[in-house]
Copies of this chain bind each other. A is one copy, B any other.
Amino acid sequence: MKPIQVGLLGCGTVGAGVAKLLIESRDRIAARLGTPLNLKTVADVDTTTDRGVRFPDGVFINDAWQVVADPDVDIVVEMIGGLGIARDLILKAFENGKHVVTANKALLATHGNQLRRIAAEKGVDLAFEAAVGGCMPVIKSIRESLVGNRILAMTGILNGTCNYILSKITAEGVAYETALAEAQANGYAEADPTLDVEGIDTAHKLAMLTALAYGMEINLDDIYVEGISRITPMDIDFARQFGYTIKLLAIGKDRGDAIEARVHPTMIPNDHPLSHVRGTLNAVSISADAVDEMMLIGHGAGKMPTASAVVGDLVDLARNLIMGAACRVPILSYQPDQIRPIPVLAMDELISHYYIRFSALDRPGVLSRISGILGELGISIASVHQKGRTSAGPVPVVMLTHEAREAAVKTALARIEELDIISEAPVLIRIEDENGIE
């Protein structure tokens, strides 16, 4: 059988990992596939830096366009990232009848609907396991394993940078800025960490998961996104006192006629399995009608874990090629004509438990004025914690609510913030607690 020829675009950290794994696992992959997966060409703008991989002569080239034009290349692996040239190269690869593997979640979340339609038209595969959760087979699980289930909820820790920072603040009580600086020093956060810490990367991934789970158009714009940069050790400490851990969660839920799709810091009970997922690890908990609960845990990023997912996709596509079975599993698992737009619930309509921390002046009547406004808006308080004054200045007043509508909570907070006894904007953190709050 003829070897399957792979062309790799981009030889940065993950690209070099893919090259390394293809070369080192060549025999193991051939034993499974019946023919080698041959790394024919690797293109990168910089071919002089050592990538820690020994390429045979002529394999490592400058010109990515040459790879997507090469009639011998069967599958293109796009490891450039970003929304620019990566997209143009993928489209050209499709045009030339090549199958594509990518880990580019930003591109998929932004232009995924277009890429999906063109790939389907051209009869080529587009695989992206590495785009969500790194080496965890969450895409394959939803696309293939859980197909008999109605997926009720997906709750994920999908960004290692955020999980590292929050774990650090939780364990050591350091400030957000200190934890971020350490993440940067350890290579877990970029110099400009915005995409990660503001939840945008997590939203990209959630957009993919909801599209797969519900057979819907990829819909990034309607996902609510809130990052972790305003999380303080004080709120983490209060969370602990109430039995909660704060995680940046991607939450996708089936609400019947709409879905919830939101990314924000969330308090989860300490006995929730996700609360034990620390450091840079990722995890997804899936609740579905047949399986009840299922969970995957693994490295969501990093050179070799990501490369593992890419190689898994490559072998899948190679098996399709060998069998003449391209597009065996549609890109979103559902047949293209079954993909529908599904509305995303507006955040104002969300029903949730809330943690609210007010900074109030320590005067008589504070609690009655705050709780009066909450009561007027139908928000019922489950628990109050007011610290005695230890120094001059405002004191924190913390409340946990029973289930309330987000719009009412926001209105109440806006009104409370205007009171003369309130010194700062209140802090609001949503709580996911199936067992309710006492």
- Cβ of A298 and Cβ of B295 under 8 Å apart? yes
User: Contacts A215-B31, A296-B296, A335-B34; is A328 near B328 (CB within 8 Å)?
Assistant: yes
Q: A167: CB under 8 A from chain B? A: no
Contact segment of A71-79, A285-293, A405-413: A285-293
Q: A194: CB under 8 A from chain B? A: no
Task: Encode contact with B along A299-343: 1 for CB under 8 Å, 0 otherwise.
Answer: 100101101110110011001100111001110011100100000
- Cβ of B315 and Cβ of A289 under 8 Å apart? no
Residues of B within 8 A of A3 (CB): none
User: Contacts A144-B140, A304-B289, A335-B32; is A294 near B297 (CB within 8 Å)?
Assistant: yes
User: Contacts A141-B137, A328-B325; is A292 near B312 (CB within 8 Å)?
Assistant: no
Other-chain residue from B145, B295, B333 in contact with A297 (beta carbon distance below 8 A): B295
Q: A149: CB under 8 A from chain B? A: yes
Task: Encode contact with B along A327-362: 1 for CB under 8 Å, 0 otherwise.
Answer: 011100111001000000000000000000000000
Residues of B within 8 A of A324 (CB): 323-325
User: Contacts A144-B140, A312-B145; is A150 near B305 (CB within 8 Å)?
Assistant: no
Which of chain B's residues has its CB closest to A333's CB? B32
Which of chain B's residues has its CB closest to A129's CB? B145
Interface residues in A129-164 (C-beta closer than 8 Å to B): 129, 135-137, 140-141, 144-150
- Cβ of B298 and Cβ of A135 under 8 Å apart? no
Residues of B within 8 A of A330 (CB): 32
Which of chain B's residues has its CB closest to A20's CB? B290
Q: A13: CB under 8 A from chain B? A: no
Q: A25: CB under 8 A from chain B? A: yes
Chain B nearest CB from A271 CB (Å) reads: 9
Interface residues in A33-79 (C-beta closer than 8 Å to B): 33-34
Q: How far is the CA of A320 from the CA of B141 in the complex (A)?
A: 18
Chain B nearest CB from A427 CB (Å) reads: 30
Residues of B within 8 A of A2 (CB): none
- Cβ of B305 and Cβ of A291 under 8 Å apart? yes
Q: How far is the CA of A299 from the CA of B291 in the complex (A)?
A: 7
Q: A366: CB under 8 A from chain B? A: no
Interface residues in A361-402 (C-beta closer than 8 Å to B): none
User: Contacts A297-B273, A325-B328; is A29 near B290 (CB within 8 Å)?
Assistant: no
Residues of B within 8 A of A296 (CB): 294-297
Interface residues in A254-302 (C-beta closer than 8 Å to B): 273, 276, 288-299, 302
Q: How far is the CA of A323 from the CA of B325 in the complex (A)?
A: 6
Q: A107: CB under 8 A from chain B? A: no
Residues of B within 8 A of A175 (CB): none
Other-chain residue from B291, B311, B334 in contact with A298 (beta carbon distance below 8 A): B291
Q: How many copies of this chain?
A: 2
- Cβ of A29 and Cβ of B148 under 8 Å apart? yes
Residues of B within 8 A of A325 (CB): 320, 323-325, 328
Which of chain B's residues has its CB closest to A35's CB? B335
Q: How far is the CA of A273 from the CA of B323 in the complex (A)?
A: 39
Which of chain B's residues has its CB closest to A295's CB? B297
Chain B nearest CB from A336 CB (Å) reads: 10
Q: How far is the CA of A294 from the CA of B136 in the complex (A)?
A: 7
Q: A117: CB under 8 A from chain B? A: no
Q: List 20 A-B contacts (CB under 8 A).
A: A17-B290, A25-B150, A28-B147, A29-B147, A29-B148, A32-B330, A32-B335, A135-B292, A137-B137, A137-B140, A137-B141, A148-B311, A288-B308, A289-B304, A290-B304, A291-B299, A294-B298, A295-B297, A320-B328, A323-B323
- Cβ of B146 and Cβ of A312 under 8 Å apart? yes
Q: A234: CB under 8 A from chain B? A: no
Other-chain residue from B25, B34, B290 in contact with A135 (beta carbon distance below 8 A): B290
Q: A21: CB under 8 A from chain B? A: yes
Residues of B within 8 A of A288 (CB): 308
Other-chain residue from B294, B305, B328, B338 in contact with A319 (beta carbon distance below 8 A): B328
- Cβ of B308 and Cβ of A290 under 8 Å apart? yes
Residues of B within 8 A of A148 (CB): 21-22, 25, 28-29, 307-308, 311-312, 315
User: Contacts A31-B215, A296-B296, A335-B31; is A147 near B276 (CB within 8 Å)?
Assistant: no
